[in-house]
Amino acid sequence: MPDKKKEFIVFADVVHHNLRIDKRLSCIINTPEFQRLKDIRQLGLAHYVYPCANGTRFEHCLGVCHLAEEVLNHLQEVQPELEITDDDKDCVKIAALLHDVGHGPFSHLYERAVNKAYPDEKFKHEQMSIKIARKILQKEKVSDEFPTMKDENLKFIEELITPKSIDKDWPYKGRPSSKCFLYEIIANSKTGIDVDKIDYVQRDTHYLNFRSNIQWNRCLATLRVKNDNKLYLPRLCFRDKVETNLLDIIQARRHIHVRAVQHRTIRGLEEVLKKAMIEANDFLTFKGQNGVSHKLLLAWKDISAYININDSIFERIHNSREFELRPARICIERIVKRELLYFCCQVNCQNGKKLSELEKQLKRSDIIFYFYDYRIRSAVENGTPEKNILYYSKSNDDVAFCNQHPTTSYEENGCKSALIYCEKLDDRDKLKTLVHEFCYNNGILFGENGVYPDFE
């Protein structure tokens, strides 16, 4: 049962109304490493298209921690035989709070800029989250409040932040396979139904003003741990009657993905900002440990330097007067004045190699390609989360089963897409002609499932 004597701090929240956070976690929340998340937008430059899209990683992390505790308390109440320990709960709550602490300016945009400038580095914000989490947990106040957060518990927290695929062999060291369900609370690699996705879908739909019918509390009320007949592991499972509610969550996430994350204007703006970051990289430096300076896109190699960078780099470049920053400043001024890249067309194709061939054929510095996959691969292993959700029925609640549901053609076929932009309006018609010729010669249909021409 949840500890009723435990003290909480309460945050007013636009999504969950009142966020109840374990008071002991305030020693983590009040660190500079975590406070910097207040200045990192969750949706990048989406506010240039959706003016209210100003949610931050700070409030998202608090929301995920709140939801994680709700799940843990619920499971303790309905299934005490699971033997969820206090250390288990503390580890999950800390991981929920710190899972996104490694994000850079404008969230995923910084990650893309680093990997564009330094492709061999293969920078991922999850790995940065682990490094920062280690530093936070080593602080004196934090270690005094959570003295058991070391060794296998620390390993458990790291594994919760970067989940692995579970096949025949158990891949984790922090907890045994009997605690498999704990690894599905924050980041569920099988179904994509986890507290991270629940919070950001609810939060993003609120800030984007998208209509949604998400009823997570109804789903949570039916949540149980059942044995998976395929993996023979205890996993999170829902009553079959809330299936439509879970599908609503998945559908809402897809709407965010298509209408905001991959919005062509937002992507065009972010490509310009990414170029600005790369142009400013050699001249915008941040001091790290022992006073050593690090370039903007290499600041992640030193945590002390990394925690000093956030979305304020936009204004820092915009208000700069250094001659060396002029190319980056011009890019920022284009964004401020909404002098956008000119959208040419969108090419959809199941064969990603053909899109790469098209990029090589049109290789020019003033032509910008942005590639993405219609399937939301970052959430689940095969891009079709609804096929992996485990259910149980009222008549036979000991048996867990999956429902094989049809998905949209793009989800099922793994259609890939390229957004193509040019910097000069005079080049757009010529570029369209070249793209259409390439598509015709390579059997890519023009129209509903092929090239989408510019439209306003």
Q: Which residues are catalytic?
A: 125
DSSP label at 381? S
DSSP, collapsed to helix, strand or coil, labels residue 106 as coil
How many whole angstroms separate alpha carbon 215 and alpha carbon 217? 6
How many whole angstroms separate alpha carbon 39 and alpha carbon 16? 21
8 - beta bridge partners?
22
DSSP string, 4-67: TT--EEEEEETTTEEEEEEGGGHHHHTSHHHHGGGGSBTTTTGGGTSTT---BHHHHHHHHHHH
Structure tokens at 291: 């006073």
DSSP string, 141-182: HHHHH-TT-STHHHHHHHHHHS----SSS---SSS-GGGGGG
419 - beta bridge partners?
346, 370
Distances in whole angstroms, Cα of residue 359 to Cα of each of 31, 46, 179, 402, 420: 45, 26, 47, 40, 9
How much of the chain is in helix, strand and coil states, percent to nearest 5? 50, 15, 35
How many whole angstroms separate alpha carbon 416 and alpha carbon 414? 6
Which stretches of 238-376 are DSSP H helices?
A: 243-256, 264-280, 303-306, 313-318, 326-336, 352-361
Which residues lie closer than 8 Å to 255 by C-beta, 6 or more apart? 205, 210, 212
**Selection from 271, 265, 266, 258 nearest residue 376 by Cα:** 258
* Residue entry with tokens 């914000």: 125
DSSP, collapsed to helix, strand or coil, labels residue 396 as coil
How many whole angstroms separate alpha carbon 234 and alpha carbon 177? 8
Q: What are phi and psi of 250, to 5 degrees?
A: -65, -40
